[in-house]
């Protein structure tokens, strides 16, 4: 029973990563089709990378704040 959350979290992260990869790939391919110059494509890719980095940092901060709040409330958050 302890492996169910680990499995589901791993599965969720895998599905989200695959979805993000294909979304970025689709937008990249659409940009190639429309004949956008390479420097504009580079700018869009850089902006997409920055948005992804901010998103990951936000998730990490949310996780840290969640665990901090849990410890403050006295929850046992140790891994088995």
pLDDT tens digits along 2-23: 888 889 999 999 999 999 999 9
Give the pLDDT mean for 33-62: 87
Per-residue pLDDT, 45: 86
pTM, to two decimals: 0.50
Q: Looking at 1-80, list the stretches that DSSP marks H as alpha helix, in order from N- to C-terminal side.
A: 3-33, 38-72
d(CA 9, CA 16): 11
Average pLDDT, the chain: 88
Q: How far is CA 5 from CA 13, 33, 41, 45, in A?
A: 12, 42, 40, 34
36: confidence class by pLDDT, cuts 50, 70, 90: low
Per-residue pLDDT, 76: 84
Cβ pair 70, 77 in contact under 8 A: yes
Domain ranges (residues) in the chain: 3-72
Cβ pair 20, 52 in contact under 8 A: yes
Per-residue pLDDT, 38: 66
Quick one: tokens of 76? 């046992």
């Amino acid at each position: 029973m302890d492996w169910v959350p680990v499995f589901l979290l791993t599965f969720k992260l895998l599905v989200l990563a695959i979805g993000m990869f294909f979304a970025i790939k689709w937008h990249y391919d659409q940009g190639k089709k429309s004949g956008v110059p390479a420097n504009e494509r580079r700018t869009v890719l850089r902006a997409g990378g920055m948005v992804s980095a901010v998103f990951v940092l936000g998730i990490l901060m949310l996780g840290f704040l969640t665990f901090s709040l849990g410890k403050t409330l006295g929850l046992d958050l140790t891994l088995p």
